[in-house]
Structure 1
Amino acid sequence: MVIKGGEVIFNTVHLPESWKLSTYVANGGYAALRKILSEKTSAETIIAEVKKSALRGRGGAGFPTGLKWSFMPRHFDGDKYLVCNSDEGEPGTFKDRDIMQLNPHALIEGMAIAAYTLGTRRGYNYIHGEIWETYERMEAAVEEAKAAGFLGDNICGTDFSFHLFNHHGYGAYICGEETALLESIEGKKGQPRFKPPFPASFGLYGKPTTINNTETFASIPYIIREGGQKFLELGKPNNGGTKLFSVSGHVNRPGNFEVPMGTPFAELLEMAGGIRDGHTFKACIPGGSSTPVLPAEIMMQCTMDYDSIAKAGSALGAGSVIIMDETVCMVKALERLSYFYFEESCGQCTPCREGTGWLYRVIHRIEHGQGRPEDLDLLSDVAHNIGGRTICGLGDAAAMPVQAMLKHYRHEFEHHIEHGKCMV
């Protein structure tokens, strides 16, 4: 698998033992944390710099990070918490794993800076349950940071203290939803909470909590070290910095690529070696399995940023780019996706619990030559009645791929129903 380095997060991945503290420090690591502690930089100044950077949440929603940090109560008598969502479980996503494997101290420093800014003394990094080696790598990195005085009590000889704990999940996709993640850390069944109240006011153990994605935190040291304006200029307005894109599927060189926000999709595809030899580009899922598929001709006109992909009718999501060539049967592809969401539904909400089952069974029926003409309208109705009617976004995540497949590739479903077999 290819790893393409960039200026912000993967800037040291080409070096031997890039995950070691010594390598990180030799390349400017922890300079940002030292700077704000020695200069006693105010929380307002740091948040303003993060806002200037136009850093948006890298976990999928794309919410402005500086604005999110400003929601944390400044004057609160009691504990406040910081949480990193490293529960990377959606099909097509594998960037956060590589951040923790190859540059874990960027994440640790980013969380320490956030903790200082938000006034939290305790943080948790919730790691997906199926990546045990990554968990061990993070545990070793936390111990290194503690021994060097970058975590724990009186960090860098100041009165700032921050204790970071890695929490290993059990592989449930639903725990990637931020409030289900909090429930899991508390030792409860991982199910989403009603919102409001939001985590900023009622989060972990009922206390104010800020939750960000792995890549989001790992971008913070660069912003504080080099300035929000420089980070912004790496990308484009409203889409600052670089972004990690996990490219998989029918390409010659799948992997993780750190590129500036706003990079043309055609350039990213070229970095990944292009479509495998002798085949043609058919479609792309641009942000992970929950985002709507886009035909090749639309995707080739896009740039890789939140606004361009949204304008095209999909979402950048976590930057998980799934490439499909002309050999892919879209009915079969959707059957696999719908099965995933059916299996991973926590069952709390009736529209999702029942609706994902209906979607999978109807698509499975079509794929196996038993489809009926009315099934396509049935799929549309079920998807419509799931979207926006659940506590969390998993229901929408199950419905949107169905709606997009029917919009762009309805003829393949009709062929399956009429002829009982695939047209590709």
Structure 2
Amino acid sequence: MRANDGIAVIICCAFRLCFCHGTYVCSYRPWTWYPPQDVFKPEPARLKRNICAIINFAKFRDEKVVMLDELEKSVEEKLKQNQAEAQEYEENLAELRRLKELHAARQTEAVTFESEAQAISATIMQLNKAHTGLSEETRAIKAQCNALTDQAAEAKLTLNSLHNEAMELQDQIVQSPEKHKTAINDLIMAVDKKRDYLAAMCVAYDEHERRLEMMAKCERELQRCVKLMEDLEVAVARKKDVSAATKDTREAIAMEERRYNEQVSINATAQRQLLSLQDKLSYIKQQGQLKLDAAAALLEEQVKRREAAEAERAVGGARAAEHEAQVRQWRERTEEVRAAKDAKTKAVMDKYNTLRRAVSEYNKRLEAAVSVNLEADAIVDVATVCAAGLRDAGLSDKAPSLDTGASRGTAMLASGMQHLHLS
């Protein structure tokens, strides 16, 4: 007895556990543990709540399945998004390393450019000073050259005038040879002085040409300096561009670092959400499996009901087909009866119209006969003609009555004619 009691207790406990788990799966979670009375002696309110939970589970299972599918899709999207973010993070790290390397290379190049720019600036300052001195010296030499050119022109004019004067004097000489020699010696001395002056002027001209060559050389040096200044300006502009690019690179690096931190925080949040969703998904899968089993049982019952309904519908369809065949036969019979009735009605109407025309013709002839005071034989002829017309129209059954009417009319007409003659 004790062994049987123990087995019964175990079975009862197992049933209670299964019942509790089932109601828990059905989303009914009371504050207290299920007492044995809920199974063996249930209270109405608690029993109602338990049954309502089971009914709601069976009723709203589809919504939970849809929610489960949506959660699975959201988890897949989150996983894909995390993979894309991880790939983007790796690409950003590679881009960040490349930008750092580029920044280091440009920084070295910028230092080289700065040293070159400083050296070129010092050279330009020296060349500017030399250019200033050479410009002043050039202006002085140009002024001196202009003065020497004027003096050379004046000397040439003076020499020409002296030469002309010597020629005139030579033509006018009529004096003694000694005086002539003295004048010639004076002229020779004057010519020597002028020649010396011209030689000095030539030397000054050569010096002037040398200085002009020096000035041309200075101008070439100055052009080279100007070109160096332009190159320096280009280098300075390039250095500014490099500085701006370096600044942009630093800003890009800072932005990438901020984005990296944001991605790290987003990734951490996504990981937490993923863990939470995985927990929810596992719980929902358990719930879904239980609901799926219940739905399978319900589906089996619905299939049985559907088969029974289909059988009933097949029987109803056969009956409906039979009734439809009967209705079709009745309609065909009705159409036949209606066609026969229409044909008879048409035939009667045709006969009626023919009779009407014959009677009308008979009346017209009778009136004509009365109006012209015809004999009884003429009236009989008219009646005979009408009867023949009725026979031709197919109203042979009406012809005897017409003949009888004609004979009676003839008799009455004859008696009337006799009374007229007697009077």
Q: TM-score range by the shorter chain?
A: under 0.3
Q: Which has the higher contact order (CA 8 A, sep 6+)?
A: 2
Normalized against structure 1, the TM-score is what? 0.17
Normalized against structure 2, the TM-score is what? 0.17
In proportion to residue count, which structure has more helix?
Answer: 2
In proportion to residue count, which structure has more strand?
Answer: 1
